[in-house]
Structure 1
């Protein structure tokens, strides 16, 4: 009696899980991409007062490029952190690959990103240079001989530029939608990136000490890092956010209700979870505005997009539903915290 081969779904499932582990999908899909999704939506909502919206295919390809870029930044970091992660006792998906296999994977990923970039932006040298800067800064942050992540403040700036600042510039340059609000959104995401990488170094402080990884946190100490986040970065970020929203209201009047609605939801959240009241204003952590950037802002803009004058109703609702589905893991995390689940 012959046995049937294992179902293909199992093999496919294993492959998908391996890709998720290598790209560290869960670490950027609902923390880095939502702000970029919001920027893409803003460019289209502003089209009501400007001109026809961009080609949907062009936006889809640009979003794919942003995903490739985010994944590459995490992959190259994992590849060059195998030894230090092992010393610190941290898991690393690349530790299961040979060095040559890891290099091949990174090379293929870069090749796919470059091919897509050239295919879409062959006639736009500025965008191609921006793509080069994005991938170059991601590589320089993690890879020797530069390995800027171990060069103090330069490491924070490079991480923020690669993951936050440059991708937003890429969006507005690729779609040709520069405005004062666009400049402020670039600055805002750059400040968010600085605060997030600062919080990351604070969280990894003990592990970095164990693995002898030199970062700004290990050289300056946790107290200095917390002061930097609480008294400089977070106030600047808050001010930039408020000014950006104020300017955006000229093109998108419904944004006048954005902050009141968010503050009402936040008040309800904190009423149910009083232990988090101090965390939401702790500028040295991920907590401040995390729900705003990662859930509320893209969902609010998606609803506005669905009912926009120049968007087909079916297409608009479809985009809004897809964005809502994309954000489900982040919503589940907030619900998990509320429920007190481990």
Structure 2
């Protein structure tokens, strides 16, 4: 998201600081949230036979991780987004406590748990990116751009946690945890994601792209990705496991691979039209997230193989028709 907001701007010291500090802030908050969840999930994980960091390392050590992560998060947030960023980060640090710790423990309160997870994991990083580019005066943030990014992050966050609950419905039931999926049913939650959340996410993300005035690299890549998704959906040869562990017929845009593989690389390349040094940002991303990129390359090879089969089949059909 930071790369999208910086697209078309030079890679100044401020831009580089925002890129680095946003990553550090979000990582610190994520580490804090993971540690808090482990502290209060010891018994639940023991029932399910899952490895728990607090049980392995000891509660005292994990509490130290919680405290140091929170301190680092506040320090980084203050540097990257000023007082507003520090305040928003205090709220973000409260969310994992509300999510995991008694007496609230909203992870067991269905929609409250879904919203808390989405806010912490998706809306908070997006909001910090907006605050950071404003604080460092790297670009103006219009109401339309801000609204699109917040709506996109909220829809993506809710979709992500509901998809996770669809995947873990049986495990959650065995642990005595009742989720939205158990209340509404697997099919109803799937339909809600496909009919409501996914279109909202795609439209809001498209609005953010338009509001940021991307260049030719961005829009050519978006067109290529749309063709890629259309082929995977229409060919009938591909399956997706986002909602069901056993898989189902491919559904467009439900995989988050665009955000994990395509998006950062495309945005860095598009930003390089204003400053070639963004290419080094892309190189750093490739090195850090090689597993995601390797998985996407495997999918891309599958699509190319399917295209060859389709072309060969069409050629044979034409030959038979001519004969």
| Structure 1 length-normalised TM | 0.75
Counterpart for residue 47 of structure 2: 87
Tell me which moved more, 166-175 or 252-261.
252-261
Deviation per residue, 1:224-243 (Å, 9 max, x gap): 32222122212222222333
CA distance in 2, matches of 1:203, 1:330: 20
DSSP 3-state at the match of 2:102: coil
DSSP 3-state at the match of 1:234: helix
- Give the superposed CA RMSD: 2.8
Counterpart for residue 293 of structure 1: 259
DSSP 3-state at the match of 1:213: coil
Q: Is the 8 A contact 1:280 1:289 kept in 2?
A: no
Q: Is the 8 A contact 1:188 1:241 kept in 2?
A: yes
Q: Which has the larger radius of gyration?
A: 2
Deviation per residue, 1:210-253 (Å, 9 max, x gap): 111232223333233222212221222222233333333x3545
Residue ranges of structure 2 left out of the alignment (5+ in a row): 135-139, 241-247, 303-323
TM superposition shift of 1:271: 8.8
Q: Is the 8 A contact 1:88 1:208 kept in 2?
A: no
After superposition, residues 205-220 of structure 1 pair within 5 angstroms as 205-220=169-184
DSSP 3-state at the match of 2:238: helix
Alpha carbons of structure 1 residues 65 and 215: separation in structure 2 relative to 1, 3 Å:
same
Q: Is the 8 A contact 2:217 2:269 kept in 1?
A: no
Counterpart check, 1:75 vs 2:75 = no
Alpha carbons of structure 1 residues 115 and 173: separation in structure 2 relative to 1, 3 Å:
closer
CA distance in 2, matches of 1:87, 1:157: 26
After superposition, residues 1-342 of structure 1 pair within 5 angstroms as 39-47=1-9, 54-119=14-79, 124-176=82-134, 177-179=140-142, 180-248=144-212, 250=213, 252=215, 254-266=217-229, 274-276=237-239, 279-281=249-251, 288-305=254-271, 307-309=272-274, 311=275, 313=276, 315-335=277-297
DSSP 3-state at the match of 2:7: helix
CA distance in 1, matches of 2:267, 2:117: 27
CA distance in 1, matches of 2:99, 2:118: 10
CA distance in 2, matches of 1:206, 1:85: 14
Alpha carbons of structure 1 residues 264 and 120: separation in structure 2 relative to 1, 3 Å:
closer
Q: How many residues align?
A: 289
Alpha carbons of structure 1 residues 59 and 240: separation in structure 2 relative to 1, 3 Å:
closer
Counterpart for residue 22 of structure 1: none
| Structure 2 length-normalised TM | 0.79
CA distance in 1, matches of 2:18, 2:211: 26
TM superposition shift of 1:86: 1.8
Alpha carbons of structure 1 residues 231 and 267: separation in structure 2 relative to 1, 3 Å:
closer
